[in-house]
């Protein structure tokens, strides 16, 4: 069933399953939630202008309406219309994606939509904006949306009914059909936020600095006046200014005088903001990541599960940690996502770590520190996204809320204590897994930790218990000289010679330089480092080198690096095929550190293509060489070494055959994990593999796969005990 079958018919209320009727792309993304719909939008942006692209955008809008519980339909006509009812009021939404990427929709488009409205309220959506006063001044029935409004809904900054209500109300009272996203969502300008002042003017009720740790060069510099909204994170705008995320919005704070101003009054901001190299600020608001630039607001990413934390990677590139570690099989949603610059660019890496992860920090390359309760860990997305018990690092604090990475080997974490009065700073050496306490402060909690390039650190604490009969925030700012942030020159591995945090005494030593760590000789590392899930990064040969039942493989050139790779894509894209490819990608991410498991270098977040190294051949094409005993032994050994960690984790391949055994750079690897059975309890769709239905490849599949493929497990043998 395709999008065209939705013409002039209503989709039943709450019929989320009807999303399957919105075309192959949306169909394959439905099971993966909002993030997958954002990926569909990103793929549409890459396509050449066409009526089909505009129609798919309309399908996506219908999906968003369905998710909000609103009946909707697409009328395929000129112009393309989405019709729906909101609170009994009929709406006609005209959808335009002009052929010229920079060309706005004009009055002709608006008139055509109005003629079709027949008394309904009109919403005009144009991805590239509008020309002139489209809609007519003083027309309360017309609302204009551009891509920023649509992306705000897709990313979860605001739901579609609320945006429609805000837009309609603003258009009615102002007589102007177009209002910027910032104009619709930011709070009223009712004066500057509460400020801070020096502690001699507003002394704390008790000594904040714990004198039990000599030599810690911490200094109380500011204390907050009454009226602060709850802070939850800080970041450095420059050497003398911080941006503070509060429940009322983003506050700019002068660290010398305590003066404050609104960077943007955007209610709902939480956790650490992130200042980008161009000076714009990212923040988490609701379930979206937004960018604030000179008073303008845009949603750049979203669809996240759980608590979201922002962090900077190479060259300040933004990443997000989201979700929860698995507490039982199949429960985990933990992920690290490369955000890109606008909605549709995000690229997700699922992380498998059975821990309550609170925040994360970048260690260089694709290595990240995951701060968790009980045990933390380091994960390398270029190898394996699965954290094994051997990788655990004992957490010195029960709830590591904020951190600063000071070198590729050193992380400083700040956390409140279990009694509600006491904050500690610890430094952890991730290479030795050793931790030591650096300082403690008499505070009720910690609301932020950051560092500026000159080596100064700042800790934002809270001492609300000092205010009689009030739980309102009482923020205090501490200066921490010597807390140097990890920095990297463009395109380089970050240096390991940054001074250790808080150089007190002789017990602390600097981490070894990165130059002492052996460099990777993998020629495909540039592809991994540049992976953004963008189809346009690859130039494919005209004809495939291999074609199977559901996919075809092409030689391709990775445009940013010039490296030749293998590009595997689905044909056609169906929900089942995308689910199989997702499983193939997932297995490669989990077991990719194993040299005998075929790695995935880049992939689409819609799971309709991925990139892998070029193979020299397969066990099928290289059969003559395998007549030698030594060559055959090498192949069998490689298969066993590839399957061992998978079997230990409860994964069963179920499609081992010569064509899926690839020779890459002189080494045998096991490929094509699409028919793999996940561990018990992690099956995404039990109906996909049914009892009594043949499974695998004729002539190579194990006999038991023809009777109960879903119930198969790794073969287990018991040694015979001599009588």
| Per-residue pLDDT tens over the stretch 243-293 | 999 999 999 999 999 999 999 999 999 999 999 999 999 999 998 999 999
Q: Helix or strand or coil: residue 123?
A: strand
| 149 sits in which H/E element | helix 147-155
pLDDT of 182 above 60: yes
Alpha carbon 704 to chain centroid, angstroms = 40
**HSE on the CB side for 314, CA within 13 Å?**
14
pLDDT of residue 213: 54
pLDDT at res. 44: 92
CA distance 95 to 98: 10
Mean pLDDT of 140-158: 90
Backbone angles phi, psi at 571, to 5 degrees: -150, 115
Nearest Cα neighbor of 288 from 334, 356, 337 is: 337
Q: Per residue in 349-363, pLDDT tens?
A: 999 998 889 999 999
- Range with the poorest average pLDDT among 109-123, 301-315, 646-660: 646-660
The continuous run of DSSP H or E covering 161 comes out as helix 160-174
Helix (H) / strand (E) element for 632: namely: helix 629-648
Digit-coded pLDDT (tens) for 425-467:
999 999 999 999 999 999 999 999 999 888 899 999 999 888 8
Residue 706 is classified by DSSP as H
**692 Cβ neighbours under 8 A, 6+ residues apart:** 707, 708
Lowest-pLDDT choice from 204-218, 238-252, 253-267, 403-417: 204-218
Q: Give pLDDT, residue 327.
A: 62
Closest to 590 measured CA to CA, from 428, 381, 415: 381
DSSP letter assigned to residue 597: B
- What pLDDT score does 39 carry? 92
Q: What is the rounded average pLDDT of the residues 632-661?
A: 85
Q: What is the per-residue DSSP string for 370-404?
A: EEESSEEEEEETTTBSBPPGGGEEE-SSS---EEE
Q: How confident is the model at residue 20 (pLDDT cuts 50, 70, 90)?
A: very low
191: burial class by Cβ within 10 Å (0-12, 13-18, 19+)?
exposed
Q: What's the DSSP call for residue 141?
A: T
> What are the tokens at 580?
């199989």
What percentage of the chain reaches a pLDDT higher than 90?
50
Q: Nearest to residue 16, comparing CAs of 62, 85, 56, 83? A: 62
Task: Check: CB of residue 236 under 8 Å from CB of residue 254.
Answer: no
Q: How confident is the model at residue 553 (pLDDT cuts 50, 70, 90)?
A: very high
Strands of 593-698, DSSP E: 602-603, 609-612, 617-618, 661-664, 667-670
Lowest mean pLDDT among 249-263, 314-328, 602-616: 314-328
Average pLDDT over residues 519-529: 82
Answer for the pair 614, 555: CB distance below 8 angstroms, yes or no.
yes
Question: Residue 103 CB: number of other CB atoms within 10 A?
Answer: 13
Rounded-to-integer distance, Cα 452 and Cα 487, Å: 10
**Which residue segments constitute the domains of the chain, with CATH numbers given?**
3-185 (no CATH), 219-491 (2.130.10.10), 536-711 (1.10.510.10)
CA-to-CA distance for 517 and 644, rounded, in angstroms?
A: 28
Q: What is the pLDDT of residue 649?
A: 78
Q: Are 463 and 476 in contact (CB under 8 A)?
A: yes
Q: What is the pLDDT of residues 82-107, one digit of tens each?
A: 999 988 889 999 999 987 556 777 88
- pTM of the shown model: 0.85
């Amino acid at each position: 069933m395709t999008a065209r079958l939705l013409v002039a018919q209503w989709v039943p209320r709450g019929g989320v399953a009807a999303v399957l009727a919105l075309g192959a792309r949306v169909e394959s993304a439905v099971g993966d939630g909002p993030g997958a719909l954002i990926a569909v939008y990103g793929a549409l942006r890459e396509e050449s202008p066409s009526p089909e692209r505009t129609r798919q955008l309309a399908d996506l809008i219908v999906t968003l309406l369905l998710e909000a519980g609103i009946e909707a339909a697409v009328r395929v006509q000129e112009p393309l219309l989405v019709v729906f009812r909101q609170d009994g009021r009929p709406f006609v939404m005209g959808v335009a994606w002009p052929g010229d990427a920079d060309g706005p929709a004009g009055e002709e488009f608006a008139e055509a939509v109005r003629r079709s409205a027949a008394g309904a309220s009109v919403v005009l959506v144009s991805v590239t904006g509008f020309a002139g006063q489209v809609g007519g001044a003083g027309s309360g029935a017309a609302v204009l949306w551009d891509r920023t409004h649509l992306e705000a809904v897709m990313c979860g900054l605001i739901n579609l009914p609320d945006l429609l209500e805000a837009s309609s109300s603003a258009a009615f009272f102002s007589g102007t059909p177009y209002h910027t996203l910032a104009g619709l969502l930011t709070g009223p300008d009712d004066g500057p936020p509460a400020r801070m002042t020096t502690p001699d003017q507003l002394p704390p009720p008790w000594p904040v600095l714990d004198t039990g740790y000599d030599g810690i060069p911490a200094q109380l510099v500011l204390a907050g006046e009454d009226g602060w909204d709850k802070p939850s994170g800080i970041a450095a705008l420059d050497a003398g200014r911080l941006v503070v995320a509060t429940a009322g919005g983003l506050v700019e704070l002068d660290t010398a005088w305590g003066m404050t101003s609104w960077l943007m009054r955007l209610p709902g901001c939480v956790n650490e903001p992130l200042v980008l190299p161009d000076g714009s600020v990212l923040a988490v608001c609701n379930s979206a990541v937004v960018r604030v630039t000179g008073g303008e607001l845009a949603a750049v990413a979203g669809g996240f599960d759980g608590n979201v934390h922002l962090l900077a990677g190479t060259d300040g590139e933004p990443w997000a940690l989201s979700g929860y570690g698995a507490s039982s099989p199949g429960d985990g949603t933990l992920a690290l996502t490369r955000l890109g610059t606008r909605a549709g660019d995000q690229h997700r890496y699922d992380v498998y770590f059975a821990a309550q992860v609170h925040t994360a920090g970048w260690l260089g390359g694709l290595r990240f520190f995951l701060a968790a309760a009980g045990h933390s860990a380091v994960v390398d997305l270029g190898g394996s996204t699965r954290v094994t018990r051997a990788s655990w690092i004992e957490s010195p604090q029960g709830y590591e809320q904020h951190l600063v990475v000071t070198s590729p080997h050193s992380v400083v974490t700040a956390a409140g204590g279990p009694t509600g009065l006491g904050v500690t700073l610890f430094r952890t050496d991730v290479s030795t897994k050793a931790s030591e306490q650096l300082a403690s402060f008499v505070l009720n909690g910690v609301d932020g930790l950051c560092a500026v390039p000159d080596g100064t650190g700042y800790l934002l604490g809270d001492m609300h218990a000092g205010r009689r009969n009030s739980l309102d925030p009482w923020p205090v700012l501490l200066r921490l000289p010597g807390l140097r942030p990890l920095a990297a020159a463009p395109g380089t591995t970050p240096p390991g010679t940054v001074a250790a945090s808080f150089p007190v005494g002789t017990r602390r030593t600097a981490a070894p330089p990165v130059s002492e760590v052996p460099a990777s000789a993998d020629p495909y590392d540039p592809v991994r480092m540049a992976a953004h899930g963008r189809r346009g990064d690859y130039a494919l040969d005209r004809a495939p080198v291999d074609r199977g039942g559901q996919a075809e493989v092409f030689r391709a050139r990775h445009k940013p690096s010039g490296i030749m790779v293998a590009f595997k894509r689905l044909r056609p894209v169906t929900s089942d095929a995308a689910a199989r490819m997702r499983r193939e990608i997932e297995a490669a991410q989990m077991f990719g550190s194993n040299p005998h498991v075929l790695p995935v270098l880049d992939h689409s977040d819609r799971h309709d293509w991925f990139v892998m190294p070029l193979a020299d051949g397969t066990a099928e094409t290289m059969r003559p060489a395998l007549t030698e005993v030594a060559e055959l032994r090498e192949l069998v050994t490689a298969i066993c070494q590839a399957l061992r960690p998978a079997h230990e984790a409860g994964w069963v391949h179920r499609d081992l055959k010569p064509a899926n055994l690839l020779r890459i750079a002189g080494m045998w690897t096991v490929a094509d994990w699409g028919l793999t059975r996940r561990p018990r309890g992690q099956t995404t769709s039990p109906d996909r593999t049914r009892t009594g239905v043949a499974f695998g490849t004729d002539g190579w599949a194990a006999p038991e796969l023809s009777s109960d493929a879903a119930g198969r497990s790794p073969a287990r043998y018991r040694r015979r005990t001599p009588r």
